[in-house]
Chain A
Amino acid sequence: MAVQPRGEVYDIGYRHYEGPREGRDRARFALWTNGVRTALGLGRGTRAKILPILLFASTMVPAAVFVLMASLAEDFGVSEVVDVPGHADYYDIVSILVLVFSAIIAPELLCADRRSQVLQLYLVRPLTPTDYVAGRWLAFFTIVLALVYSGQIVMFVGFTFAAQEPLDYIRENWLDVPRFLAAGAAVAVFVTTIPLAVSGFTARRAYAAGFVIGLFIISTSAANALTTCTEREMRIENGVTVVDRCEAVTGRWAKWIGLADFGSVPSYVSDRIFGEVPDSSDAVQQVNQLNEAIPIAWYILLTAGPAAILLRRYQKAAL
């Protein structure tokens, strides 16, 4: 009869950890990776992945549509006369779509830790409140940046292959690459900061999301209603509508009231990086009458201000 191999189980008891300790840098990196996984729903059920998929679609569908339009314009030989949307137009549309989805997804990064009170466990480890907020902010910023860059890369590659002479297209348009990289960062900073700053004031994701989306809808509607032209003179030049005169209902205050169009704020920066003047709505057209530095300063105020409030909020949360 064959002898059965015998195994024995030993309880070796508690053993102290003698491996590497990588301190604060490891803690920050762990917070960032955890934030990325949480936002994308990785390691969670299918339901947690629905919103990230919609966010992905919101960046990819416009890019695909623009490429299709460019391709059709080339095929029908009308690319010289039809104004096919380009890299700057992509950000005008995507910044609003991404803002809406970010308003729903981003708060989970902060609200969940406040709701479950895990936050205090982080703050007693080698992390400061600033490390915590920066780690969460960078996690969502990375995701948004990766998505909007992906959309722009799809467009650039698509436009290149749709062109009659791809090499000529690259030679003539290569500057769009650094422009969309810079403008994408500006859009990502805005759509990351606003929802996270609001999340600092509630433990409920739904409240934060509702507030940001509500703020967007109300501010955009109100700003456009108050800047609507009562008298307008316009002409069409090279297929583009040019407004020569617009008398708004709020008169000379209209150009300042237009700044309240919250959803258009990232466009002020991204369009200027592309050397274009944003003209997506009445409110934006009114803002164009202001000194060029004012909309940029407004963007900086609307990102740096909430970021500072968020950091201060978490300094106090530690207490």
Chain B
Amino acid sequence: MTGASGQCYDWRMSFLLEAQALTKHYGAVVALDGVDFQVGKGVTGLLGPNGAGKSTAIKLFLGLIEPTSGSAQVLGERPYESIEVRARLGYMPEHDCLPMSLTASEFLTHMAQVSGLPPAHARTRAADTLRHVGLDEERYRSIGEYSTGMKQRVKLAQALVHDPVLVLLDEPTAGLDPLGREEMLALIRRTGSEFGISIMLSSHLMGDVESTCDRIVVLEGGRVVEDDTVSHLTQETETLYVEVDDRRDELLALMQRNGLDASLEGMSIVIDGVDDEGYDTVRDAVVESGARLRRMAPQRHRLTEIFRR
């Protein structure tokens, strides 16, 4: 692929998406405020509460809007200046976007052609993609007859039908029941690992991101508040839970006196940031207080807690 500069851009070696001082204002409202981050190969989660700037970032990377300042680059190009790059992108919106009167096969064939594939190739790709998302038998039925889960699969399939380098998924599990959600997340994992298509997944559901992504970028109030691998973030936030049958208050006071970051959460004492030395301190405090120990277990923080900081 040739970049805007005319030089050959090899996305296998570089970032797929890159935000540089990316800023977007809607009048007086600042949706994104000088954001810098990069997205490479693999599955990346764009996490944040409503109004954090996730949708604005996606629209900028899709070239639907232009930044107020800074740049949003996709595969080395600015999509709002060079729309041909969009032929290598896939997008699955959060909202309904399917024509109910068409069959999945017809719809996907058309969408493949609109992405630049010739008709014969488009038909083959449509059939293959529907098979990969588990809609082989049903592809000649009208989309209007599909269940919510099946419609969500068609939405994913239309994003994949032209074999993009990168797909942007906006809240892909929205409206699904627990089983449908698990199936969709499994499909997303397969898309990333088995199909080799990189993904940027926008979600406000930490569980979705934690179970599918290699890396997360957390947005809040239009700024990046975290940008790291999921494993690193969860490792860093190790917590120890201690449950005792009696003398809980004495044990808590002793732990705090000995320098541990201990607090009470329900029936448990929660100690944050425990290292190897901290385990010895906890053990000594339990012995000294004489409390009867019921359970002591390290627990990884969930990503939900990033927002509590």
CB-defined contacts of B111 to chain A, threshold 8 Å: 121, 125
**Cβ of A76 < 8 Å from any Cβ of B?**
no
| CB <8 Å contact, A26 and B118 | yes
CA distance in complex: A99, B97 (Å): 30
Q: Which of B84, B113, B128, B195 has the most CB of A within 10 A?
A: B113
| CB <8 Å contact, A20 and B83 | no
Interface size on B, residues (CB 8 A): 38
CB-defined contacts of B59 to chain A, threshold 8 Å: 319
| CB <8 Å contact, A123 and B98 | no
Q: Which of B86, B194, B196 has the most CB of A within 10 A?
A: B86
Which of the segments A110-118, A159-167, A302-310 contacts the partner chain? A110-118
Q: Which of B83, B96, B158 has the most CB of A within 10 A?
A: B83
CA distance in complex: A17, B93 (Å): 23
Say whether, besides A30-B110, A34-B110, A22 and B117 are in contact (CB < 8 Å).
Answer: yes
Say whether, besides A14-B195, A116-B98, A23 and B125 are in contact (CB < 8 Å).
Answer: no
CA distance in complex: A123, B194 (Å): 28
Nearest neighbor of B122 in chain A, beta-carbon distance: A30
CA distance in complex: A128, B79 (Å): 11
CB-defined contacts of B101 to chain A, threshold 8 Å: 44
| CB <8 Å contact, A27 and B196 | no
Of B89, B114, B118, the residue contacting A31 (CB under 8 A) is B114
User: How many A residues are at the interface, by size bracket?
Assistant: 35 or more
Proximity string of chain B (99-121) to chain A, C-beta cutoff 8 Å, 1 when within and 0 when not = 11100001000110111111001
| CB <8 Å contact, A318 and B87 | no
**Cβ of A127 < 8 Å from any Cβ of B?**
yes
Say whether, besides A44-B101, A116-B96, A125 and B65 are in contact (CB < 8 Å).
Answer: no
CA distance in complex: A14, B192 (Å): 11
CA distance in complex: A21, B196 (Å): 19
In the assembled complex, the CB of A108 is this many whole angstroms from the nearest CB of chain B, namely: 10
Proximity string of chain B (141-168) to chain A, C-beta cutoff 8 Å, 1 when within and 0 when not = 0000000000000000010001100000
| CB <8 Å contact, A17 and B163 | yes
| CB <8 Å contact, B116 and A120 | no
**Cβ of A13 < 8 Å from any Cβ of B?**
yes
Proximity string of chain B (53-95) to chain A, C-beta cutoff 8 Å, 1 when within and 0 when not = 0000001001111000000000000000001101101010101
| CB <8 Å contact, B97 and A117 | yes
Of B97, B116, B128, B196, the residue contacting A121 (CB under 8 A) is B97
**Cβ of B189 < 8 Å from any Cβ of A?**
no
**Cβ of B181 < 8 Å from any Cβ of A?**
no
CB-defined contacts of B195 to chain A, threshold 8 Å: 14
In the assembled complex, the CB of A187 is this many whole angstroms from the nearest CB of chain B, namely: 30
Nearest neighbor of A11 in chain B, beta-carbon distance: B131
CA distance in complex: A116, B93 (Å): 12
**Cβ of A298 < 8 Å from any Cβ of B?**
no
Nearest neighbor of A22 in chain B, beta-carbon distance: B116
| CB <8 Å contact, A22 and B118 | yes
In the assembled complex, the CB of B186 is this many whole angstroms from the nearest CB of chain A, namely: 15
**Cβ of B223 < 8 Å from any Cβ of A?**
no
| CB <8 Å contact, A125 and B64 | no
Of B84, B113, B117, the residue contacting A19 (CB under 8 A) is B117
In the assembled complex, the CB of A219 is this many whole angstroms from the nearest CB of chain B, namely: 34
Of A20, A44, A113, A124, the residue contacting B64 (CB under 8 A) is A124
**Cβ of B301 < 8 Å from any Cβ of A?**
no
Besides A27-B114, A126-B87, 9 new A-B residue pairs in contact (Cβ under 8 A), listed by A number: A17-B125, A17-B162, A21-B115, A116-B97, A116-B99, A116-B100, A118-B97, A125-B111, A126-B115
The 9 closest A-B pairs by CB, nearest first: A30-B113, A17-B163, A14-B195, A124-B91, A19-B121, A117-B97, A21-B116, A23-B116, A124-B62
B residues with a Cβ closer than 8 A to A are: 59, 62-65, 83-84, 86-87, 89, 91, 93, 95-101, 106, 110-111, 113-118, 121, 125, 128, 132, 158, 162-163, 194-196
26 A-B pairs with C-beta separation under 8 A: A14-B132, A14-B194, A15-B128, A17-B117, A19-B117, A19-B118, A20-B121, A21-B115, A21-B162, A23-B87, A24-B83, A24-B84, A27-B113, A27-B114, A116-B98, A118-B97, A118-B99, A120-B97, A121-B97, A124-B63, A124-B89, A125-B111, A126-B84, A126-B87, A127-B114, A318-B65
